[in-house]
Amino acid sequence: MKTPPAEFYIDPARLKAERERIFARSWQIVGHVGQLANPGDYFTTRLGNEPLLFTNDGGTIHGFFNVCRHRAGPIAYGCGKAQRLVCRYHGWTYDLGGQLLRTMEMEGAEEFDPTQIRLQSVKVHRFGPLLLAALDPDTPPFEELYPGVRERCEPLGLERMGLPRKNRRRPGVLLLAVSEPDAEHLRRTAAVERRDSLDADNTLVRFEWFALEPLSDPQTNARWTELSRFSEEVQAEDAHICEAVQFNLHSRAYRSGPYSPKRERGVRLFHTLMQHS
Ligand code: FES
């Protein structure tokens, strides 16, 4: 078996199909629960090319497309705390559960019943400190789609982990590396990479470290300073090589190549699953 052909990585139609067949029908990390710690908290993000909004509605976590039901304006930007969400375009107002409460100058509109209008929701699941979402309402529950994952992650103490630091990078291609802690000071941490395909050639990578004992100020702690420096160094190396690989995938000189039986079994499995999805 050979690696997938170069078009697999650079074809916009392929990306479109993957967004539908894979990313919309699976659970993807969209944030961490600390972003919705208190009632009224909200934050926005994107999953692939979809704008999303998450709220803490009196202790219940909701997820929505950040798209107004009037003319697609944004309901919120960034993050914050609010009792109501007001669209920035014409002022339609929604509660934190997504129900439309108030509109502007809609008197006489045909077939218009505000009580029947809600923000379109996405499914939400909490996994330790992570918040996951599924765009397709028919996505099976997390435990059904990924049986045994929760049990296998239990030794990490996910439920007790917090987020000390994060950064963002925009390399030219999906990173497929899986790293394992190799030093004592990393054993009580977990690294999470979130990836959003911006287009066929660009992926936004969010790299976040979670820890069992988050520090009040990671910037002044020597352990975290070193972890941060090392993490930055590795990410910079990965981004640099990935940008070059993505550029080269457009070359007429490359079609596909062999897998290393020793190092690339995981990549091979991943590609096999994608081709059969
Ligand atoms: S698009 Fe939101 S109020 Fe018009």
Ligand 1 centroid, distance to 111 Cα (angstroms):
17
What fold does the segment set 1-25+154-277 form as a domain? Naphthalene 1,2-dioxygenase Alpha Subunit; Chain A, domain 1 (3.90.380)
Residues of the chain within CATH 3.90.380.10 domain(s) are 1-25+154-277
Which residue has a Cα nearest atom 4 of ligand 1? 90
Ligand 1 centroid, distance to 54 Cα (angstroms):
19
φ, ψ for residue 81, nearest 5 deg: -130, 135
* pTM, to two decimals: 0.81
- The per-residue pLDDT for range 105-123, each reduced to its tens digit, is 888 888 899 999 999 999 9
47: which residues sit within 8 A by CB, 6+ positions away?
A: 23, 28, 30, 133, 135, 196
- The per-residue pLDDT for range 149-169, each reduced to its tens digit, is 889 888 877 777 776 555 554
**Nearest partner of 197 among 5, 66, 15, judged by Cα:** 15
Residue 227: pLDDT over 80 = no
* Alpha carbon distance 6, 248 (integer Å): 9
Which residue has a Cα nearest atom 3 of ligand 1? 90
Residues of the chain within CATH 2.102.10.10 domain(s) are 27-138
Q: Tell whether ligand 1 has an atom less than 6 A from the beta carbon of residue 68.
A: yes
Q: What is the CATH architecture assignment of 27-138?
A: 3-layer Sandwich (2.102)
Mutate which of 77, 84, 92 for ligand 1 pocket (most atoms within 8 A of beta carbon): 92
Q: Which helix (H) or strand (E) holds 121?
A: strand 121-127
In this prediction, residue 214 carries a pLDDT of 60
**Measured between alpha carbons, how far apart are the two ends of the chain, in Å?**
18
3-class DSSP state of 272: helix
* Alpha carbon distance 185, 211 (integer Å): 11
Angle at the Cα of 44 (from 38 to 46), degrees rounded to 5?
140
